[in-house]
Structure 1
Amino acid sequence: MLLIKRRVLSLLLLVMILLSFGIAGSALKVNEELKINQDKLDNLAKVYVAKVIDGDTIKTTGGEKIRFIGVDTPETKHPEKSVEYYGKEASKFTKNKLEDKKVYLEYGVEKKDKYKRTLAYIFMEDGTFFNAKLLVAGYAELLTIPPNLKYVELFKDLVREARGNNRGLWKKEEEEASQLPVISWQKADEYIGTKVIVEGEVIDTYDSGKAVFLNFAEEYWNTFSAVIFASNLYKFSNNPAQHYLHKEVRIRGRVKDYEESPEIIIEEPKQIRIKE
């Protein structure tokens, strides 16, 4: 009897965990055109968009502010930031598609953010999944905040596609790269504070659990290294610690000094390329 009770409690605990992370709630089926079936819209909340605040936030005719889950468009109206690259384009896209129109909402497990905005996935009248559309077109980056993770795998794939094809905001990175100096890893300490492209062979890697380190010398503690923090690993389609080991690579970024050793922090997969 005691064993049965323990098993029941374990199952209840598992269900609670799944619910808290939004895994137990099944995701709507999204087709290749990033649309859901029309009959699924009837089960969602319906609102009318009075105003587009920026690329990822709208205001309804009822005065409710709604922040799109899983996406982050460049800032256009942040009180402490200037207008960011591709921000106006993202806002214009959302305005053209949603303003003065009816949309359908699928709420997140967590329904409000710290600014009291409603958190939701947005679907257009024809079933188009608008959050996904922003990502695949290059108007937004992925923003992953638990427990609202229902479509995170789809979103990851769409960002990789947009990034790989230099769409929208990702195009700037390639334009910038063509203007950067190319240096060997041995000279990285001469370029502290400068954006460069570093070339060399990764001879050792280390995954600490908090970050992956790509090292270019046996005495890695006082020579150049590249660092990928665990929070950015989801962006990679491979395991960087294995994929780049013993490969000649080019790494793009700003060289920083960390405990008297040069390093570049890799936040995006496009910052590192294997030399052909």
Structure 2
Amino acid sequence: MKKVVIFFCCLLLLGCQAKKDTFQAGTVPIKVVRVVSGQTLQVMGFREQPNLISEVRLTGISAPPTRQRPWGEASKKRLTELIQDKSSPVRLEFDVEAKDKFGRTLAYVWKNETLVNEQLVKEGHAIFVARSPNHKYDSRLEQAQHWSRLMGEGIWNPEDPMRLSPSEFRRVYR
């Protein structure tokens, strides 16, 4: 009886351990053709039309547009750096809503074990913006934003803070 209990406890413990590659479940590998901005990629090899170039908008974040200097260029540059390593594929993970109002695919972007959306927020290159109904990683993105604000990273730098949010900038400077 004692051996059976120990066996079931071991099974229970093994079953509760997080798998190293759990983020890859339900993701799709793609080829990045171009980084458009700190929140938008052009990709190829996606869905039913592998030779068609599609735009992908990173879910849950808002990065400064490239015209919002110096933060927009810095955001675009950092996104490029995060995904440029050719040794491993960029993978997309989807949430409830697949497209935005502009027809762009909405996705969480993974490179190795890094959630790129989260990394951009943590480093102060983008802000967290909850967008219903896509809330899969809201708590991670929100925590990353708290961290970057506390540490004064990027757009939160107290010596050179970004004065307008990306959406305010787009509204004012169309």
With the length of structure 2 as denominator, give the TM-score of the two structures.
Answer: 0.71
User: 1: CA distance between counterparts of 2:23 and 2:143?
Assistant: 23
**Superposition pairs for residues 99-178 of structure 1, below 5 Å?**
99=84, 101=86, 102-124=89-111, 126-171=112-157, 174-175=158-159
**43, 59, 74: which one aligns with 1:69:** 59
Equivalent pairs counted in the alignment come to 136
Change (3 A) 1:176 1:140: closer
Secondary structure at the counterpart of residue 115 of structure 1: coil
Shift in Å, 1:123: 0.5
Q: Distance between the aligned counterparts of 2:84 and 2:55, measured in 1?
A: 13
Q: Indicate the percent of aligned positions where both proteins have the same amino acid.
A: 28
Q: Deviations over 1:202-257 (max 9, x none)?
A: xxxxxxxxxxxxxxxxxxxxxxxxxxxxxxxxxxxxxxxxxxxxxxxxxxx9xxxx
Relative distance call for 1:155 and 1:39 in structure 2 (3 A) is closer
Aligned amino acid, residue 124 of structure 2: G
Verify the 8 A CA contact 1:68 1:120 in the aligned structure 2. yes
Pair 1:89 & 2:74 matched: yes
CA distance in 2, matches of 1:160, 1:100: 28
Q: What are structure 2's unaligned runs of at least 5 residues?
A: 1-17, 45-51, 164-174
Report the secondary structure of 1:109's partner residue: coil
**How far has the Cα of 1:47 moved from its partner?**
0.6
**Amino acid paired to 1:158:** A
Alignment of 1:46-57 (within 5 A): 46-57=29-40
C-alpha offsets along residues 117-162 of structure 1, whole Å, 9 cap, x if unaligned?
Answer: 00000101x2211111011111111111100111111111110110
Contact 1:51 1:100 in 2 (8 A): no
Between structure 1 and structure 2, the one with the greater Rg is 1
The offset of 1:38, in angstroms, is: 2.7
Q: Give RMSD over aligned pairs.
A: 2.2
**Compared with structure 1, are the counterparts of its residues 39 and 175 closer, same or farther at alpha carbon in structure 2 (3 Å cutoff)?**
closer
Is the 1:50–1:60 contact (alpha carbons within 8 Å) kept by the matching residues of 2?
yes
Q: What whole-Å deviation, never above 9, does each CA across 1:90-137 have from its counterpart, x for those lacking one?
A: 10111122247421111121110011000000101x221111101111
Gaps of 5+ in 1: 1-30, 77-81, 178-252, 254-276
Q: Find the counterpart in structure 2 of residue 268 from structure 1.
A: none
**Structure with greater contact order relative to length (CA < 8 Å, sep ≥ 6):** 2
- What is the one-letter code of the residue matched to 1:105? L
CA contact (8 A) 1:106 1:122 kept: yes
Aligned-partner Cα distance in 1 for 2:103–2:23 = 27
- Between Structure 1 and Structure 2, the one with more strand by share is 1
Letter in 2 for 1:167: E
